[in-house]
């Protein structure tokens, strides 16, 4: 290899843009491969077949009793209790203001 300096000046912006472009293409190709691999693993050959499977899963869930509203409310309350203090700090509201707004 030659140790001579390159004749052209190096454009760092161009190099950075090219690196970003290559990284973006790599991420998109990985996402495409994962999506196709997942569809292959579940033996789905088209959008219509995927829709049919989702519809059949919804029907099965409805037959088994649908969504459990009480369970959903419990989970929502637990989530609210867990994140409540940090959300109050972030918004700057206290419990009195929240109760007034709720009314």
CB 20 within 8 A of CB 28: no
pLDDT of residue 13: 95
Q: Which residues contact 77 (CB under 8 A, 6 or more apart)?
A: none
**For residues 95 and 15, what is the distance between their CA atoms, to the nearest angstrom?**
53
Total Cβ atoms within 10 A of residue 44: 15
Q: Determine what percent of the chain is predicted with pLDDT higher than 70.
A: 75
Q: Dihedral, CA atoms, 76, 81, 87, 91, nearest 10 degrees?
A: 100
- Across the range 44-63, mean pLDDT stands at 81
Upper half-sphere CA count for residue 89 (Cβ side, 13 Å)? 3
Highest mean pLDDT of the ranges 31-35, 56-60, 75-79: 31-35
pLDDT of residue 99: 55
| Res. 92: pLDDT tops 70 | no
Whole-model pTM: value is 0.46
pLDDT of residue 14: 94
CB 45 within 8 A of CB 51: no
């Amino acid at each position: 290899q030659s140790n001579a300096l390159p004749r052209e000046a190096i454009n760092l912006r161009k190099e950075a843009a090219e690196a970003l472009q290559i990284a973006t293409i790599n991420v998109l190709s990985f996402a495409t491969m994962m999506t196709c691999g997942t569809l292959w693993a579940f033996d789905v050959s088209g959008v219509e077949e995927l829709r049919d499977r989702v519809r059949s899963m919804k029907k099965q869930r409805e037959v088994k009793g649908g969504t459990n509203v009480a369970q959903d409310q419990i989970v929502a309350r637990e989530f609210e209790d867990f994140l409540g203090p940090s959300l109050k700090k972030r918004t700057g509201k206290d419990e009195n203001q929240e109760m007034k707004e709720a009314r």
